[in-house]
Structure formats: structure tokens, C-alpha cells
Amino acid sequence: MKTEHVNQITEAVNAVKAMDVKNFYFVACGGSMASLATGDYFLNRELDIPSRVYTSNEFVHVDPKGLGENSVVILRSHSGTTPETVEAAKFARSKGAVTIAVSMEVESPLCQAAEYVVHYNYKDGSDAIDGETGVYFSLIFGILNAVSPNEKYDRVLKQLSHLENLFETNKKNTFDRAFEYGKENKREKIIYTMGSGAYYHQAYSFTSCLLMEMLWIHSNAIHSGEFFHGPFEITDFDVPFLIIKGDGPTRPLDERAINFAEKFSNKVEVVDVAELDYTGVDEDLREYFGPAIAGVVLRQYADGLAEHTGHPLSVRRYMWKMEY
Ligand SMILES: N[C@@H]1[C@@H](O)[C@H](O)[C@@H](COP(=O)(O)O)O[C@@H]1O
């Protein structure tokens, strides 16, 4: 990892270590919020300190009672310019919280507003450990190790160096299927996504950012556990589902949803995270790496749809084009 990133992460982790943390807040919008939510999931699973995710504007308007000097607020904005997130950083800081901004732009308004900055490289040829996932996972497992030291977090931090290979291998292994998926589904007007645990946020991100924002395909991200409490009534032979079968404690929830969906729909695509390649990752650490690897694999499914629909992922009608 680049020295710049090591230093930034160390500074942020030391700040967390030096305080008596009462709660963590993860604050961002859209895809950035979904990315942060993986950290929230791990903190909730590993620590007894409460943590929660907010979309930036709600965070400011709700003004959570627990927000104060003993709070750690982690904000993320890819561009560093999303106004709601910049406002949330200023707000959290005014409440005395420790603020950590994660962004690809260190000169951005978000990074200027927050106390600590953690930068990542984006599509510039850097190794994956310096990219968004490598840097963010290093921050989260650094925080976990600082708050509740455990040798397994040390091993996660070391094995994150395999991310580059894991991304490449898994992208290669799933490319053909993702491309085929795009071909098979290019005429679909609606595609539901499903997932649970850390993967629910990836379903959300796939629905909101990739299908709705970038491909203009109607969608809804359904939690596998919630499927049976309303949404499953929509299931029929011609209703498409893209279901993430996670690698973690909530996998049984996904299996139950898949069993049902496959019984009544002919259009169920399952992305099984347990079948991905985890070379270099200890057996007991797979749960931590699955969400990191699944992200790049899922992106290829969107690339497959873009290729076959002829709708590039870069096209927007409203976003960043007008006041809203
Ligand atoms: N699809 C984009 C996301 O990718 C982005 O994360 C979000 C916020 O933008 P930023 O991350 O720059 O704050 O806007 C949209 O939702």
C-alpha cells in the first residue's frame, strides 16, 4: 500500500483508538452509502458498540441523539462534492464527532470539511489495495483491531494484499456468464435484485446505481429475509431476479428465497459468492472477503447488460446536469 494511504489510515485509526467510542455512523449517498454499509455490517457483527448507516441528508435532518464527542462519523463520497455529504461532515464536526472522509479527491469539499481524510485511487492502474475496496477495508479492519484487538483482523489486513489477484481471477472466471446474462436479459424492462447481510447493500447498489441510474431498468432491491413478507407475491414464470447467494451467516436466508423463486420463475440468476475464488484467503476469513470480491463480479453483469442493450453506463438525463 502507498505510504500516503498507510499514513492516512494510521492517523484515522489512532484517533479512534484514543477516544472512548460510544457509536459509529456511516454517512453517504447512493453507491457510496452502499459501500460504507459493508463496514457497518462488520462493525455490528464484531463489536458491541452500536453503529448505523444514514443517507447524508437524513443524518443532518434527524440529528441523532447519540451524535457527539464520542461518535466516529465515517463519510464517503467518490467525487467528494456531493453537497448532502459535505453538509453532513460539517454537521458532525460541529457536534464534536471524529469525522473521517473517504474519497478519491483529497482537494474536494468533503475532504476539507472532515478532520481525517482517507484517499483511494480510482482506475489509474494502481494495485487494488490502493483502490476503494482495499483502502476502505484496511480502514475498517484497522478500526476493529484498534477497538477490539484480534489476531484474525491482523490476518485480514495482511491478506488484503491478495485483492488485486482475487479481482482479476474472479472477473475472468465470471466474465462469460455475465456477458451471457446481458444477452439473455437485454429486453427485460424490470429486474429485481435480492441479497442479505453484507450483500443486501450490493443488491441495493446494483438496483439503484447500475439498473436504475445507469441502465434505466426498473428495479427494487429486496432483502432475502423480507421476500416472504410481501414481495414474493410478484413472482411468476417471466419475472427476472438477480439473487446474490452470500458467503456468511445469512446465507440460509438467500437459499430460502432462491428455492422459492426458482420454483415459480424461469428467470432466476444466482450469483453464488461461495463459488468464487478465494486463493490466499484463510478459510475463517472468507466471510470478510466475499463482499469485496462480489462487488467486481456484479459490476460485470451490468457491463453485460450495457453491452447488449447498447445503453452505456455513463449516460444520465438529470444527474449532475441540473439543479435538484
Ligand atoms: N451512482 C452514483 C454513486 O456511484 C455515487 O456514489 C453517488 C454519490 O456520489 P459521490 O460518491 O460522489 O458522493 O451518486 C450516485 O448514486
Domains along the sequence of the chain with CATH? 3-149 (3.40.50.10490), 164-309 (3.40.50.10490)
Report which protein residue has its CA nearest ligand 1's atom 15.
Answer: 30
Cβ(195) to ligand 1 under 6 A?
A: no
Report which protein residue has its CA nearest ligand 1's atom 1.
Answer: 209
pLDDT at residue 61 in the model? 98
pLDDT at residue 219 in the model? 98
Residue 276 CA to residue 290 CA, distance in Å, equals: 8
pLDDT at residue 290 in the model? 97
C-alpha grid cell, residue 117: 481524510
Complex prediction ipTM: 0.94
What is the CA(178)–ligand 1 centre distance, in A?
23
- Cα angle 308, 312, 313 (rounded to 5 degrees) comes to 115
**In testing the pocket of ligand 1, which one of 84, 87, 209 has its CB within 8 Å of the most ligand atoms?**
209
Neighbours of 112 (CB within 10 A): 14
Cβ(78) to ligand 1 under 6 A?
A: yes
Residue 83 CA to residue 188 CA, distance in Å, equals: 34
pLDDT at residue 284 in the model? 97
Return the ligand 1 atom nearest residue 82 CA. Answer: 13
Residues linked to residue 295 through DSSP beta bridges, in sequence order:
none
Residues of the chain with pLDDT below 50 are none
Whether the Cβ atoms of residue 108 and residue 79 lie closer than 8 Å to each other? yes
Report which protein residue has its CA nearest ligand 1's atom 16.
Answer: 30
pLDDT at residue 3 in the model? 98
Q: Which residues of 144-169 are buried (b: 16+ CB within 10 A; e: fewer)?
A: bbbbeeeeebebbbebbebbbebbeb
pLDDT at residue 285 in the model? 97
Cβ(82) to ligand 1 under 6 A?
A: yes
Cell 429486453 locates to 187
Quick one: three-class SS letters along 55-84? EHHHHHHHCCCCCCCCEEEEEECCCCCCHH
What is the CA(28)–ligand 1 centre distance, in A?
8
For 166-191, the pLDDT digits (tens) are: 999 999 999 999 999 999 999 999 99
pLDDT at residue 128 in the model? 97
C-alpha grid cell, residue 135: 483502502
**In testing the pocket of ligand 1, which one of 26, 29, 106 has its CB within 8 Å of the most ligand atoms?**
29
pTM of the model: 0.97
Residue 101 CA to residue 272 CA, distance in Å, equals: 32
Which residues, in sequence order, are CB contacts of 47 under 8 Å at separation 6+?
144, 147, 148
Helix, strand or coil, per DSSP, at residue 94: helix
Return the ligand 1 atom nearest residue 34 CA. Answer: 6
